[in-house]
Structure 1
């Protein structure tokens, strides 16, 4: 990056986007105007650099900027066909691009181009939106800012809004910015620093005004606490959230599978305990960035926190049915012949008093961001109720944006989902070896992964390398401990909303002849693999049945479940136990759409935690070969003469759980390069 105008724009954007009080994730846009040499003519040309469609200010880089010729953008004013056809102007932006143009121009490009200022910030701060959604926001804006910040009545983002703001700035030369009714704020300046300071001045002044008004109010903006609706104690609250998460996820995945996120921040719990919850929730969110991610309003459970769990589950089902009917009616009220088809009637936000908020999306990040946006909406409601009455934009206007042809086109540009997108996988023994390879493959195919291992440090390293909490979380779990296994599944439900795909991989081995095998050796191996697999499968099945979305359970057994090798009684017997668990559970769980299959690898030496922990030396001694040559020895006794690696086992797990073998259950897949003695019969 060599242009100082661009450098200052990126730095300003990053500072503004890093503070959640200033703008929300992916919300708002910034711009700068400057001069560069046209590489074709050699002449100076006036350009606009503006955040492109879909970018985020906090992580903005130069490649996220759209670069357009200012003269061509401003020439569009002369051909603008009017507000009824203003959507056509977005396509016209493409003819204004300079060079390769950078990122795709957003709908707000006109605002930045037409306002006569070198630097423009359009932001969605909670305090600014609180003013913008107050019933008497225009009067309050004058009270707070005098004539230095001007009120702009609600208008859907687009070319006409850009013309409106440009005209207001021209008519008010003393103004440093404006409050956009129902939407946010815009500020401008002759320098990058001036624009940033003016943006911050508007936001901080609005925050102080709201804080003072709240202190003078003499009551809570959300009303009185409703007895029985207060937050449950921490442990009880998290346990109930974990129990409800798969139920809620299953309901909200009626149209298409979704990933979940749970939030029990104080700001959420406070709203859920108040007597104005139902009124405010029904009004819905206002800022377009909010309701595009949260839908126009949430589903609210109308029971106290102390209600029995079974009653809450039953009520959730009733409320979900009512929500879908209500959303369909909303669509039918406002849809026209040209409207995109309904995108699904399930809620994106579910509020449970005393427990917290569940949010949903096509992946973990989308679900998490939806929850963050509803927290923004709560802050907006609190501010608006402190200074006035919360009055969001009309429902019809929300529909015009939610089912905007431009929004539909934006969704159509999204990359095609990966095969395991929306699936939540839980892999035991995933801190190393085969389990690590399985976790890596499932994440690469789009799954969210719970990396479970008795070694938390190893599990955390894997989770971090997979992409962090929006992709993978690490959980320490001893699979022999019943409570720990229940906690593991609870952690999966709290992290991602439930569980869809379980891989029973945790294991160990001790190679001894029968006469040297102790009861302790036998018990340890059976506890980890036979008992552990049973416990994990049982607890995961509880969540899968609650979700009613089907699921997959895969056992990493062994060719030793069939092959009678030497000096291996305890290990091979417990692998045979696992192999028969596959058949038993396939028969039992099929009625719930849960498929249970197994993988039978040959000895996986390279990258294996088991072999590195002493098993390799024991098996090498049994076969009379150096430990360093054990993998080659195994390979030479197979039909294909090839060594089995962790990624081969991972590929088999993906084959069993991906989109191609959906009618297969009760199957064991050999991954042994061909061991004739272990052929399935």
Structure 2
């Protein structure tokens, strides 16, 4: 569990009993996971750790010194031993003879694979020389807010000396790479008593010859900085004090639910984005503060921060004292266009002849006074992590500006890291996005067999999924099952009665705040009833119509409102039934309601087409396995209608089909996936029967 409490010292979590008997590489892993478990030490994916370990050379059998260091793209909090690169120290030392100077330092990365120990496939990171050339066995490099607040101050060298004396040194800003590794080595040789160094606008390095000692040194250094800031800032209003009121929580979420789909639509023209909303206290202190506009414009300092958040955020023109949501929405496009133009100008000012082409010019971080912070990225995890990084930046600005003057990284330096050719190469190696990456789906009846199978099919293709169901217990179980397979970032659930306007509207508002909007709507919630017409009560008739017809209407109506607010199209899938086309005896209420669904879909296909909203129908038949409607009276009633028992009903349905095959939830899910994916981008108003063949249900 990540510890995120601010304003208190870090706990020493080292357990001697647990560490006893560990190898040096095991201790490295243990130390790394402990450090990465607290966001005040370093953010997700940030920082790196290393150990120089004696290993047996697989070729010669001789003992050789090997550098174990966090590999490229890893996270020290969750890493396992396979996440570490391993390199011969002797070969890393030999690289010094190949180095041609700072203007050629990027080429040194190409030599790192030649230093690999034991054919380890884990790629070494750009920070490898920073660890290799520190003449100590164990090295920690982390990005604590309290240290970066020192490093990002205009007088960071003076502050470092004031807080740590000669124990922790200071080096001026230098882009991570081979040259900085040599700088660190030179510092260590000239300052043998020093235990670490603060890197300007970057972070902290600490070192020792023992794993536990290195861990405790890192914690102690951070705690000294935390204690110093607490003493210096006691009673000081952060960020110059409040300039705007903070809205109540419910109102904050209402504003976010209105803004997020609109923003998402404006920035998703080239690729769909997923959003994240954060209104924790640290964020609210910042977005409503007097100095927020000035500090936000300065951008972030630590390279890890702006790689995740872009050089600066977009401040939304919103006055919480006079909350005019409609007016803000009217001005929003102009704000976003201004940000793009500013970003393009930044690119033109800073680009080099060999710079990669300009990337997405849209903001990642959106600050809304009195409301909170919104972040958008290619997926939910990235959006959430980007928000976490900007919270780190907020904490840095809070400390730095209180004791000194905060400074962002110089624009050209920021550009040279953002558009670093090595960073571009890393991006080019990323796997191709899945077919539904960046899409957001809601599935009603999500706790049932078809609903859960459909949600899982979407999740498997990279979509985020919201399960909506009236059955709270089944919903909880379904959600947890999918979370176990796809992670908590990807799955949400909401209790929803599809016959309630208020419940449906609230579900879409929650989805907008959780993910940013919606792209795929699967109406699947249902019941089934069986009764001869003379035995069909008005209550039973109305219940079928309410859930299967009115419920589909309410879910679709709210979806159209959100989809139109986004303006990027979407796909709606009605899970109807073979019975909507082919009548069945003793089920007039059910069949009529299902026919209503099909015709509603046709009407919506007409209305949605000008907006790029596609509406299609999937007609299942006799999906017994995993379906909740086949576990109660409906099963008994249909068995009685056809003169068979429960065990024989599935066989009867299979034998009556043209293909003589059972229809499973996964079969319906595949059809729902087809209508959601771009492969059906030119299909709307269609009906796809998934019933193993029923001549009465042929559409023509």
Instruction: Determine if the TM-score, normalized by the shorter chain, exceeds 0.5.
Output: yes
Indicate the residue corresponding to 2:260 in structure 1.
245
Query: Residue in 1 aligned with 2:457?
Result: 441
Are the counterparts in 2 of residues 33 and 46 from structure 1 also a CA contact under 8 Å? yes
1:502 and 2:521 equivalent?
Answer: yes
CA–CA distance in structure 2, aligned partners of residues 53 and 598 of structure 1: 46
Cα distance, 1:463 vs structure 2: 2.2
2:219 is matched with 200
The match for 2:397 is: 381
**Does the CA-based 8 Å contact 2:271-2:438 persist in structure 1?**
no
Mean alpha-carbon deviation: is it higher for 433-442 or for 611-620?
611-620
397, 406, 425: which one aligns with 2:413: 397
Q: Secondary structure at the match of 1:98?
A: coil
- Report how far residue 77 of structure 1 moved: 1.1
Aligned to 2:612: 593
**354, 357, 364: which one pairs with 1:341?**
357
Aligned counterparts of 1:256 and 1:418: Cα–Cα separation in 2 = 12
Question: Of 562, 569, 580, which aligns to 2:588?
Answer: 569
Contact kept, 8 Å, 1:450 with 1:472, in 2: the verdict is: yes
Q: Alignment partner for residue 292 of structure 2, among 259, 264, 277?
A: 277
1:619 deviates by: 0.7
Residue 263, structure 1, aligned to residue 278, structure 2? yes
CA distance in 2, matches of 1:39, 1:293: 40
> Cα 1:255–1:281, aligned 2, differ >3 Å: closer, same or farther?
farther
Matching residue within 416, 431, 444 for 1:415: 431
CA distance in structure 2 between the aligned counterparts of 1:327 and 1:585, rounded to whole angstroms: 39
Q: Given the alignment of the two structures, is residue 222 of structure 1 paired with residue 233 of structure 2, yes or no?
A: no
C-alpha distance in 1 between matches for 2:648 and 2:627: 15
- 1:90 is paired with a residue whose SS is helix
What is the rounded CA distance, in whole Å, between the counterparts of 1:579 and 1:500 in structure 2? 20
Corresponding residue number in structure 1 for 2:533: 514
Q: Distance in 1 between matches of 2:640 and 2:256?
A: 51
Tell whether the 8 Å contact from 2:252 to 2:371 is kept in structure 1 after alignment.
Answer: yes
- Aligned residue for 1:295? 310
Q: What residue number does 1:319 align with? A: 335
How far did 1:571 drift? 0.5
Give the 3-state SS of the residue equivalent to 2:252 in structure 1.
Answer: helix
1:29 paired residue number: 48
Conserved? CA contact 1:463–1:469, under 8 Å: no
Q: 1:302 Cα deviation (Å)?
A: 2.7
Matches within 5 A, 1:503-582: 503-582=522-601
Q: How far, CA to CA, are the matches of 1:523 and 1:210 in structure 2?
A: 66
The question of whether the paired residues in 2 share the 8 Å contact of 1:605 and 1:630 is answered with no
Aligned pairs (5 A) from 1:113-128:
113-128=132-147
Partners of 1:184 and 1:479 in 2: CA distance? 51
| Distance (Å, rounded) in 2 between the aligned partners of 1:133 and 1:511 | 71
The 8 Å contact of residues 262 and 357 in structure 1, kept in 2 or not, is answered as yes
Conserved 8 A contact 1:10-1:60:
yes
- Give the distance between the partners of 2:472 and 2:513, measured in 1 at CA: 18
**Matched residue SS, 2:679:** coil
SS of equivalent residue, structure 1 residue 73: helix
Which of 508, 511, 527 does residue 492 from structure 1 map onto? 511
- Distance across 1 between alignment mates of 2:647 and 2:608: 43
* C-alpha distance in structure 2 between counterparts of 1:458 and 1:90, whole Å: 52
TM-score by length of 2: 0.95
Per-residue deviation at 1:34?
0.9
C-alpha distance in 2, partners of 1:386/1:240?
A: 31
The number of residues matched between the two structures is 677
- Give the secondary structure class of the aligned counterpart of 1:86: helix
Moved more, 246-255 or 175-184: 246-255
Equivalent-residue separation in structure 2 for 1:590 and 1:355 (angstroms):
35
Matching residue of 1:91 = 110
Could you tell me which of 71, 81, 86 is aligned with 2:90? 71
Deviations 1:116-143 (A, max 9, x none): 0000000001011100000100001000
Deviation at residue 505 of structure 1 after TM alignment: 0.2
**1:286 aligns to 2:301 (yes or no):** yes
**CA distance in structure 1 between the aligned counterparts of 2:376 and 2:116, rounded to whole angstroms:** 36
1:310 aligns with 2:326: yes
Partner Cα distance (2:452, 2:64) in 1: 54
Gaps of 5+ in 1: none
- Return the match for 2:471 from 455, 463, 471: 455
Q: Distance in 2 between matches of 1:75 and 1:210?
A: 43
Q: 1:102: how far off? A: 4.2
Contact 1:554 1:596 in 2 (8 A): yes
C-alpha separation in 2, matches of 1:302 and 1:575: 47
Distance in 2, Cα, partners of 1:57 & 1:269: 29
Q: Secondary structure at the match of 1:515?
A: helix
Alpha-carbon offset, residue 91 of structure 1: 1.1
Does residue 664 of structure 1 match 2:679? Answer: no
Structure 1: distance between partners of 2:690 and 2:478: 24
Give 3-state SS (helix, strand or coil) of 1:59's partner. coil
Give the CA deviation at 1:3: 6.7
Q: How does 1:35-114 map to 2 (within 5 A)?
A: 35-114=54-133
Offset from partner CA, 1:409-440 (integer Å, 9 cap, x none) = 11112111111110000000011211111111
- The 3 A distance-change label for structure 1 pair 100 and 456 is farther
TM-score by length of 1: 0.98
**CA distance in 2 between partners of 1:311 and 1:521 (Å):** 46
Question: Residue 34 of structure 1 contacts residue 48 of structure 1 at CA under 8 Å; is this kept in 2?
Answer: yes
1:424-435 aligned within 5 A: 424-435=440-451
Distance 2:648 2:142 in 1: 63
Kept after mapping to 2: 8 A contact 1:117/1:188: yes
Alpha carbons 1:427, 1:449 under 8 Å: kept: yes
Separation in 2, partners of 1:463, 1:251: 31
1:351-366 equivalences under 5 Å are 351-366=367-382
> Hey, what's the Cα distance between the residues in 2 that align with 1:9 and 1:614?
60
In angstroms, what is the RMSD of aligned CA positions? 1.2
Cα distance in 1 for residues equivalent to 2:625 and 2:671: 17
Cα distance in 2 for partners of 1:114, 1:576 equals 73
Task: Give the Cα separation in 2 of the matches to 1:641 and 1:650.
Answer: 20
Cα-to-partner distance string for 1:146-168 (whole Å, 9 max, x where unaligned): 11110110000000111101111
**In the alignment, which residue of structure 1 is the partner of 2:168?**
149
* Distance (Å, rounded) in 2 between the aligned partners of 1:259 and 1:185: 32
Displacement of 1:210: 1.2
Does the residue aligned with 2:355 lie in a helix, a strand or coil? coil
